């Protein structure tokens, strides 16, 4: 009998020990909202990363690293249990947080636990919070966190001008821009103007550097007097907005169809051999004062001509006309450094407008030429040039 009592007591103690060593797994959810001050109101913050921990020590250690910028994701560890992101309304939900307990608050049926949170978004100072969660519950709207912005913002209203005309560029260009010494460049395509949002550390100022390019044509970045530059920097940009003007200059153009006359007289004669049917050639004078003929113009075999005009009952002829010299349906001449490396001193070209020295040669019995400077803003109609012809 005594032995049986002792055995019964030992079995009871063993059961108690086994029960004391058993743990129970619980789970719960949690939700909340993240906002930031805006004037007298608070507005939702989307895309905030919410990191959930069950280990307060690990959370606090990570939070210090988030604050000093050494991490943007939690450290590896068993105390970090879940992550989620706020939606457009600033709301977040962590659906399932699991923990194990040997001493649950309500035995096997329920437990209460602490959850430790970090809230991170690159435009705000990190924040932390903690909440009590009850197993088997969603713990709805249990967390309400306010984030303080860590950045200042400015809007740069940018206009790109054609330095030759002083008007906003219609041609597309490519803009690279970056802040201070950052290695990452942002690149956009623009035609004429753009608004660029810039952010930087709150309470500071930032230098913003711009580089303009236009692949495939002759546009190059310059300053407002036409001198070539590699980049343009606006220093000490602060919060707010500002206007920035950038400039480009065209180093390429296509010659137009030059026209005019070498006589201009009117007569009732259908032909004047001394000014009609005269061969016309187009040439340029290079940086070394060497005359070079355009092969395209020579191949076209341009000649002067006359036109017949009728006014009332009168018929008259206008003589010594030329047209389509330099451009026609059959050819075009594109002036740039690649096609004509010696047409000007490209390295010394610092003006606002590209200009080339051209000559029209007329095959009179004593050949003559007309020399003129052409730039893209000049009229292609040369008018009456008879008095400006130079004999060879």
pLDDT at 318 over 60: yes
Mean pLDDT of the chain: 88
- Categorize the per-residue pLDDT at 170 as very low, low, confident or very high, splitting at 50, 70 and 90: confident
Alpha-carbon distances of 307 from 30, 275, 310, rounded to whole Å = 91, 13, 10
Mean pLDDT, range 188-217, rounded to an integer = 86
pLDDT tens digit string along 240-257?
999 999 999 988 999 999
Q: Is 69 exposed, middle or buried (0-12, 13-18, 19+ CB in 10 A)?
A: exposed
pLDDT tens digit string along 372-381?
999 988 999 9
pLDDT the model gives residue 293: 97
- Categorize the per-residue pLDDT at 310 as very low, low, confident or very high, splitting at 50, 70 and 90: confident
Task: Extract long-range pairs of 226-235: CB within 8 Å, 24+ residues apart.
Answer: 226/163, 226/350, 226/351, 226/352, 226/353, 227/350, 228/350, 233/207, 233/208, 233/209, 234/156, 234/207, 234/208, 234/209, 234/210, 235/207
Mean pLDDT, range 322-333, rounded to an integer = 94
Q: Are 210 and 177 in contact (CB under 8 A)?
A: yes
Lowest pLDDT segment from 10-24, 50-64, 265-279: 10-24
Q: What's the predicted TM-score (pTM) here?
A: 0.68
pLDDT the model gives residue 387: 93
pLDDT the model gives residue 111: 82
């Amino acid at each position: 009998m005594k032995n049986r009592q002792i055995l019964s007591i030992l079995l009871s103690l063993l059961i108690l020990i086994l029960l004391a060593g058993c743990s129970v797994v619980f789970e719960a959810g949690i939700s909340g909202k993240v906002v930031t001050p805006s004037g007298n109101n608070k507005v939702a913050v989307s895309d905030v990363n919410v990191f959930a921990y069950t280990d307060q020590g690990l959370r606090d250690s990570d939070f210090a690293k988030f604050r000093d910028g050494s991490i943007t994701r939690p450290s590896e560890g068993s105390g970090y249990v879940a992550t989620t992101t706020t939606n457009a309304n600033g709301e977040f939900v962590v659906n399932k947080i699991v923990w194990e307990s040997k001493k649950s608050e309500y035995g096997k049926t329920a437990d209460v636990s602490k959850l430790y949170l970090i809230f991170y978004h690159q435009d705000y100072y990190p924040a932390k919070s903690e909440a009590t969660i009850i197993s088997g519950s969603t713990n709805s709207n249990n967390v309400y966190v306010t984030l303080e912005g860590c950045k200042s913002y400015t809007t740069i209203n940018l206009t790109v001008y054609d330095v030759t005309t002083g008007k906003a560029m219609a041609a597309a260009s490519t803009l690279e821009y970056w802040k201070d010494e950052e290695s990452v460049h942002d690149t956009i395509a623009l035609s004429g103007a753009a608004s660029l949002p810039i952010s930087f550390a709150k309470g500071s100022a930032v230098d913003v550097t711009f580089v303009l390019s236009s692949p495939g044509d002759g546009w190059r970045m310059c300053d407002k007097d036409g001198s070539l530059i590699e980049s343009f920097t606006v220093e000490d940009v602060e919060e707010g907005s500002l206007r920035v003007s950038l400039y480009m200059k065209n180093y390429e153009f296509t010659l137009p169809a030059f026209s005019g006359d070498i006589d201009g007289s009117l007569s009732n004669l259908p032909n004047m051999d001394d000014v009609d049917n005269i061969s016309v050639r187009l040439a340029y004078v290079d940086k070394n004062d060497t005359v070079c003929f355009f092969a395209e113009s020579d191949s076209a075999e341009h000649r002067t001509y006359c036109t017949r005009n009728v006014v009332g009952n009168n018929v008259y002829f206008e003589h010594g006309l030329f047209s389509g010299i330099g451009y026609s349906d059959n050819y075009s001449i594109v002036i740039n450094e690649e096609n004509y490396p010696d047409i000007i001193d490209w390295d010394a070209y610092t003006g606002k407008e590209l200009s080339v020295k051209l000559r029209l040669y007329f095959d009179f019995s004593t050949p003559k030429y007309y020399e003129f400077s052409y730039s893209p803003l000049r009229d292609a109609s040369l008018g009456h040039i008879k008095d400006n012809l130079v004999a060879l």
